[in-house]
Structure 1
Amino acid sequence: MRARQKRFFALFVTLAHIAGALTSVQAVMETRTAQGAIAWAVSLNTIPIAAVPAYWAFGRTKFQGYVKKRQEKIDETNPLVRHFIDLAREEQFLVSNRTRETPLLERLTNLPATVGNDVQLLRNGEEIFPSIFRGMEKAEDYLLVQFYIVRDDNLGRELQARLLAAAQRGVRVKFLYDEIGSYQLPRSYLDTLRESGVQVSAFNSTQGRANPFQINFRNHRKIVVVDGRHAWVGGANVGDEYLGLHPRLTPWVDAMVKVTGPAVQALQVPFLEDWFWASGEMLDLDWTPRAAPNGTSRTVFILPTGPADRFETCALYFLHSINSASHRLWIASPYFVPDEQIVSALQLAALRGVDVRILVPEDCDNRLVRLSGWSYVAALEKAGVKVYRYTNGFLHHKTMLLDNETSAVGTANFDNRSFRLNFEITLEVQDEEFAREVEEMLLQNFSESRLSSAQELEQRSFPFRLAVRVARLLAPIQ
């Protein structure tokens, strides 16, 4: 019996090393950086029992299943997008005074910049959710709702009630959630929606024969669209913590933007692709762009990014923004774990005289992120970048203010996960008035923050400083 167990164990170890060797070949061929390729190759060949499942869960950076399925329907989605662009051109909603970055951003996203939009900055749950719920009540044709996290708490049940009411009055309701972000959402919550006519789909990253372990990809987008006329996008999920009810991280500071105008049609494109991946259904939506009723003409870019993109669109967008700053660059992000190219770009911006400020929360819901964030302060401070720590609750909004005219609000953090592993959505507005609203919000946030310094880390205990360095080594998977 013991000899059989030894033979079985020897066979298992041999197969594990074979699997590790074969997987290491794929890691060398596909891993983005040389350092990452070396780390995976060494671990896969030395500790394959642990490294092989870890690689298949966390090592891949391209969402091949999504790419393939999107390609299957490209002939159907492209005509819809082209129809929208043609109509926008006929109605003169496309940008005429094109700047240098306009064609770059359009090539990155395959979506046009549009004018004729109105945007409203919504701050914190007390403004965000009443605005969204009022919009849902006015839906007549269809309602598209997508969130990363939905909880079965008071706010989650209020969302459920609004979806049910819309479905009962004949509105086509599509509800999309991320299965990993919303893993605590009970089946009864979803069954209640389905039984009342709401179409429900999970963004299941593990679907498909080639993707059973792809748990490292997330759909982090938050989008609500009403009848193709109004839309909401930004950082807020659906949970009571967004109303200041988290037991520790409170108040919860967040932001979303309400959009009216032709940019709403652009926002429908990523929802359409995500819905098709999740359900296999191609949606019949309103693709006719309309000017915002109050006559504003703000320029809006919609930037959907994710691991199915041809390029690392999210990282390239922020890298381009940093390099474009001439006198001011303010960035707020709850998860600030940049890679070396972003750190270098921030240093260069500060060295050429740009007022570069980074705003992060003092406390965070992710311990690894909080620790690793400390490791970047010294390099940034040396170049003149100021790092502020928000002390009046948990700062969760993802916002950027560039010079006096450009601002961005969305779902993307400054970390590897948002840059390369998550499906994200960012709304960029080129408008001085809206930029002043974002500036006012950030100035209030800065007034409730403290300036951080590298000296603080030097004064901490050795175990804390060691934990910071170890956390930084794990930055690629945070």
Structure 2
Amino acid sequence: MLTTIIGGLLLALHGAGVLAAMHAVMNTRTPQGAFAWALGLVFLPYVTLVPYLYLGRSRFHGYVDLHRARRGQIQAQADEQLTDEASPPEVSERYGEIARMLGARFHPGQRLRLLVNGDATFDAILAAIGEAKHCVLVQFFIFHDDMLGKRMQQVLMDRARAGVDVCVLYDGIGSHALPGDYVKTLQDAGVGIHPFATQRRSNRFQLNFRNHRKIVVVDGERGFVGGLNVGDEYLGLKPPLAPWRDTHLQLEGPAVADLQRSFAEDWHWVTGALPPLYRPSPGQGTAHTLIAATGPADRQETCSLFFVALIHAARRRLWITTPYFVPDLAVMAALRLAVFRGVDVRVLIPARPDHRTVFLASGLYAHDAVRAGIRVFRYQPGFIHEKVLLVDDDTASVGSMNLDNRSFRLNFEISALNVDTTFAAQVETMLENDFAHAHEVTEAEYDKAPYLRRLAMHVARLFDPVL
């Protein structure tokens, strides 16, 4: 009797695995991902079925439909506030494909401030919020209820009590450890705060499609974007990853309207209403800036294509920093071709892991990159989390995008692409200092690794579709 019951359960489990495999073949975004899921679900459903419920879902319709319907309306509303001049021909020719792909544009006259590390970033953000007179928009992937989280909480409550409109979004999975009391305290003070998810109804099985963006906009005039979240570890206060290395960007000028637009789309999905939108200040700087907001609701895989386009634009230099180096085939091919063009291609990655599976896969990709002539460096002092890209002598991107499948296809991301020789020179100085604190990866790192570690690296790479 017991044997019959167990046999029936196993048969049902395999049947469910076959049905899930059919779903994976029809819906998974890449052939590699579809094959990996289908193979595991058919032959090992007792191992892969539950993970597929969390990670295998690749479509969501409600957000997509509203995103596409509202994006044009919000863009038109933002455009009414702007009187930008056309970008100079050299900018349009080099990066016009990115602008057309994203339905965005370069705004001239941006004033930029590079914020190196957590102290500089949050000193600037908290000071700007403290000076807000009309509206504060805040969006982070992670909020923690720690010292930095309480500082952020206090300044937001102070502004709300002063009559300022304060709107806050956090990701429901990224901030899974955030206590309910933290949120309720903000709500009681008049702060509008909500978790983001692509489904309005809570779904504990949805680990994909997370909102990884970091946006702060104050009074429509000052904007912030970059790689840092709200937590003490981003100030380098939590070993063993301390000191934490990260970068953010402050900007003033018409491009802030596009930061507002990105926030407004997500806020409207969550709340059904639009946040207050304010006219940005006239351009007083020298940079041309495009806000690249990408995500799985786009018709194209815009994040991956964003990287490919920037890599192809490089003629002399291409320096990239990323905590997770798991490039797809298109990005890896573009990097290889850049080497053949004679471009100085360098990639800076961590020397210590925060996610061990990703770290192992990154090590194998680093080995492949070195063999292709790409110079790869490991940052030594602590964990490097910055997402910065420098092209030649005039172009630099700062934002939330990693070089991995999650950013390419599964997460909502945002970066500021800036064309300005002065700002690029500042980024160059910052990255030169980062590279000075790094060791260059050689083929020996892989060749001399123990066999079991090399095996683990190859096994980790099998999980590319979900890393």
What band does the TM-score fall into relative to the shorter chain? over 0.9
Contact preservation (8 Å) 2:322, 2:384: yes
SS in structure 2 at match of 1:427? strand
SS in structure 2 at match of 1:394? coil
What are the superposed Cα offsets for residues 402-451 of structure 1, whole Å, 9 maximum, x if unpaired? 01111000001111111111111011000000000000000000110111
After TM superposition, the structure 1 stretch with the greater mean CA deviation from structure 2, 31-40 or 183-192, is 31-40
For 2:78, the equivalent position in structure 1 comes to 84
Contact preservation (8 Å) 1:327, 1:354: yes
For 1:196, the equivalent position in structure 2 comes to 189
C-alpha distance in 1 between matches for 2:336 and 2:88: 34
Contact preservation (8 Å) 1:351, 1:383: no
Contact preservation (8 Å) 1:143, 1:227: yes
Q: CA 1:425/1:257 → structure 2, altered by over 3 Å: closer, same or farther?
A: same
**What amino acid sits opposite 1:83 in the alignment?**
Q
- What is the CA-CA distance between 1:283 and the residue it aligns to? 2.3
Contact preservation (8 Å) 1:115, 1:300: yes
For 1:22, the equivalent position in structure 2 comes to 19
Gapped regions of structure 2 (runs ≥ 5): none
SS in structure 2 at match of 1:181? coil
C-alpha distance in 1 between matches for 2:74 and 2:28: 34
Q: 1:126 aligns with which of 119, 132, 141?
A: 119
C-alpha distance in 1 between matches for 2:88 and 2:393: 20
SS in structure 2 at match of 1:301? strand
C-alpha distance in 2 between matches for 1:41 and 1:396: 33
Q: 1:397 aligns with which of 364, 377, 386?
A: 386
What are the superposed Cα offsets for residues 199-257 of structure 1, whole Å, 9 maximum, x if unpaired? 11001245449x66221221111100001111100001111122221121111111111
Contact preservation (8 Å) 2:226, 2:400: yes
Contact preservation (8 Å) 1:206, 1:213: no
For 2:269, the equivalent position in structure 1 comes to 277
What are the superposed Cα offsets for residues 43-79 of structure 1, whole Å, 9 maximum, x if unpaired? 22223344333223212334434213424xx2x5533
- What is the CA-CA distance between 1:6 and the residue it aligns to? 5.3
**What amino acid sits opposite 1:363 in the alignment?**
R
Percent identity over the alignment?
Answer: 42
C-alpha distance in 2 between matches for 1:244 and 1:382: 34
SS in structure 2 at match of 1:346? helix
C-alpha distance in 2 between matches for 1:237 and 1:378: 30
Q: 2:170 aligns with which of 159, 172, 177?
A: 177
- What is the CA-CA distance between 1:129 and the residue it aligns to? 0.6
SS in structure 2 at match of 1:220? coil
Q: 1:291 aligns with which of 282, 287, 293?
A: 282
After TM superposition, the structure 1 stretch with the greater mean CA deviation from structure 2, 389-398 or 197-206, is 197-206
Q: 2:144 aligns with which of 127, 151, 154?
A: 151
- What is the CA-CA distance between 1:17 and the residue it aligns to? 3.2
Q: 1:228 aligns with which of 220, 223, 229?
A: 220
Q: How many residues are paired up?
A: 466
What are the superposed Cα offsets for residues 31-54 of structure 1, whole Å, 9 maximum, x if unpaired? 233332222222222233443332
TM-score normalised by length of structure 1: 0.93
Contact preservation (8 Å) 2:370, 2:441: no
Q: CA 1:94/1:11 → structure 2, altered by over 3 Å: closer, same or farther?
A: farther
TM-score normalised by length of structure 2: 0.95
Q: 1:244 aligns with which of 230, 236, 239?
A: 236
Q: Does 1:57 align with 2:54?
A: yes
C-alpha distance in 1 between matches for 2:305 and 2:59: 16
For 2:459, the equivalent position in structure 1 comes to 470
- What is the CA-CA distance between 1:335 and the residue it aligns to? 1.0
For 2:302, the equivalent position in structure 1 comes to 313
- What is the CA-CA distance between 1:307 and the residue it aligns to? 1.1
C-alpha distance in 2 between matches for 1:400 and 1:59: 30
- What is the CA-CA distance between 1:317 and the residue it aligns to? 0.5
C-alpha distance in 2 between matches for 1:393 and 1:151: 21
After TM superposition, the structure 1 stretch with the greater mean CA deviation from structure 2, 170-179 or 33-42, is 33-42
After TM superposition, the structure 1 stretch with the greater mean CA deviation from structure 2, 200-209 or 462-471, is 200-209
C-alpha distance in 1 between matches for 2:121 and 2:235: 10
Contact preservation (8 Å) 1:85, 1:112: no
Q: CA 1:477/1:99 → structure 2, altered by over 3 Å: closer, same or farther?
A: same
C-alpha distance in 2 between matches for 1:302 and 1:418: 16
C-alpha distance in 2 between matches for 1:462 and 1:80: 54
Contact preservation (8 Å) 2:78, 2:261: no
C-alpha distance in 2 between matches for 1:395 and 1:12: 47
Contact preservation (8 Å) 1:23, 1:44: yes
C-alpha distance in 1 between matches for 2:71 and 2:303: 22
Contact preservation (8 Å) 1:233, 1:257: yes
Q: 2:128 aligns with which of 132, 135, 138?
A: 135
